[in-house]
Amino acid sequence: MTTKTIAPQGVYNGFARRRNAIALGTLFLTAVYWAACYALKESGSYLRPAEEFCVNSENELCSRPDLFAFQIGSGVAIFYCGVMGISTWHRSVHRDLPSTPEGRLFGYLAESELLAAANFTFQVWDFFVSLMIPEHATAVFLLHHVAAALVSWFSLSYQVLHYYGVFFLGCSEVSSIFLLFIDLGRYFPPTTGSPFDLLISICQPAFLITFGWYRIVLWWKVSILLWKDVIYVLKTGKAEELRPGKSFCLYIYLFLNVVLGLLQIFWFGIILRAAYEVVRG
């Protein structure tokens, strides 16, 4: 069992501690992506993309190994973060961190540090790979990657928000596990009645439920507690006492919490409209 502790400023820089793992993780995801791209470079005959993803390919066999490879690389990172997040949130974070504002904001949890390192690795990798894929290189998605990487970096470098990091960097990715398969089916439409078609039909309601629970209901419930804790440590001076000169990252975290929370609501509205269209037929 992890010792309940509040890590004092200056114990170590978590980013420096995990930099080798971050570098290796980035190289691994990149290797997976390019290996998949190479293996599937002539896959048009058996992995036909949807017509909307076959621009300028009227007279040739369309192949989009980049879209498939991206899902594989993303899947590795998202599955790790989602499983680590949900297992830690429902198993140890409430047990191993002090149930106080100081404990939730400045307590140390090894699992949270690993999550922050993994999420930072994924977001940075995702950002640069997305620049090469038109379907992913949108301003909203790129800014989302920057915001998520920034809060991960704060958590690592200043040893803050380990309690909240488990939820926002881990549990929030659970719905994305199902989205991976849904997007894969959108890029490469399955044959009706095939096993993959059945898998997607299962993932669609699972995605709706997990997104609504973790990214809407629990997101705002946890966010309210976050705001109360941050306001308390700022008013009492505990923030400067435990992390001298680092209080600014709490303000940035609150700002990004609201921005990303509103973005979840916007996306959930799109998801509900799509679900309504499917049910209506």
Q: Pick from 162, 21, 153, 160: which is nearest to 89 by CA?
A: 162
**DSSP reduced 3-state for 13:** coil
What's the distance, CA 5 to chain centroid? 27
C-alpha dihedral sign at 266, 270, 273, 275: negative
pLDDT of 159-192, one tens digit each?
Answer: 999 999 999 999 999 999 999 999 999 999 999 9
Provide the pLDDT confidence category of residue 5 given band limits of 50, 70 and 90. low
Out of 52-61, 198-207, 264-273, pick the least confident. 52-61
Out of 5-14, 26-35, 78-87, pick the least confident. 5-14
Q: Residue 29, Cβ neighbours under 10 Å: how many?
A: 21
Q: Pick from 197, 263, 174, 67: which is nearest to 271 by CA?
A: 263
**DSSP reduced 3-state for 44:** coil
Give the pair of three-digit tokens for residue 254: 């609150």
Look at residue 12 in the predicted model and tell me its pLDDT: 61
How far is the C-alpha of 281 from the C-alpha of 261, rounded, in Å? 30
pLDDT of 223-273, one tens digit each?
Answer: 999 999 999 999 999 999 999 999 999 999 999 999 999 999 999 999 999
Mean pLDDT of 194-207: 95
How far is the C-alpha of 35 from the C-alpha of 22, rounded, in Å? 20
- What is the dihedral angle through the alpha carbons of 229, 233, 239, 242, rounded to the nearest 10 degrees? -90
The reply to whether the predicted model has a pTM over 0.85 is yes
pLDDT over threshold 80, residue 9: no
Residue 173 DSSP one-character state: G
How far is the C-alpha of 241 from the C-alpha of 244, rounded, in Å? 6
Q: Residue 134, Cβ neighbours under 10 Å: how many?
A: 11
pLDDT over threshold 80, residue 207: yes
**DSSP reduced 3-state for 33:** helix
Report the chain's terminal Cα–Cα distance, integer Å.
51
Quick check: 68 and 47 in contact, CB under 8 A? yes
pLDDT of 85-113, one tens digit each?
Answer: 999 999 889 889 999 999 999 999 999 99
Quick check: 85 and 167 in contact, CB under 8 A? yes
Helices 174-187 & 195-210 angle (0-180, nearest 10) = 140
Look at residue 44 in the predicted model and tell me its pLDDT: 82
pLDDT over threshold 70, residue 21: yes
Mean pLDDT of 76-88: 96
Amino acid code (one letter) for 278: V
